[in-house]
Amino acid sequence: MSVRPDNRLEDTPMQQVRCRACTASVTARKSSWDQTTIQWHDDAVEACLERRAASPRPGPNGGTFSGCQELRQSIREAAVAGTLEVVSHEPLPVNPEAAFAGHDQAAH
């Protein structure tokens, strides 16, 4: 079985976003206001203040890093400012804080 390429990135590639707190640089893509894909790079993982402060949780996935709140906020600000394209071209929700609460999906 062959792996099918992800053609979505041809139309709207991931863009660089820098965290406002630690300046870690990741690439991100917002398919909609509710869905964000983040690609962490080794240097960003090392630079992230929240990552360094995170304590491992119990269980087999305890070392998994669920993401950085400061980076999520930086991505949100980039999308609102228009420097990070929102692919769906939906208008900014009336209550943008609700649109971002708990809906972020990160790829590590």
Mind listing the pLDDT tens digit for each residue in 10-64? 677 899 999 999 999 999 999 999 999 999 999 998 899 888 777 666 767 666 6
Per-residue pLDDT reduced to its tens digit, 41-51: 999 988 998 88
Note every long-range contact of 92-99, with CB atoms under 8 Å and residues 24 or more positions apart, other chains counting.
92/33, 93/33, 96/33, 99/33, 99/34
**CA 50, CA 22: separation in Å to the nearest integer?**
9
Q: Which two structure tokens, joined as six digits, stand for 3?
A: 């792996």
Tell me how long the chain is: 108
**Could you tell me the two tokens for 10?**
């041809």
For residues 50 and 40, give the distance between their C-alpha atoms in angstroms, rounded to a whole number. 14
Quick one: tokens of 36? 């964000």
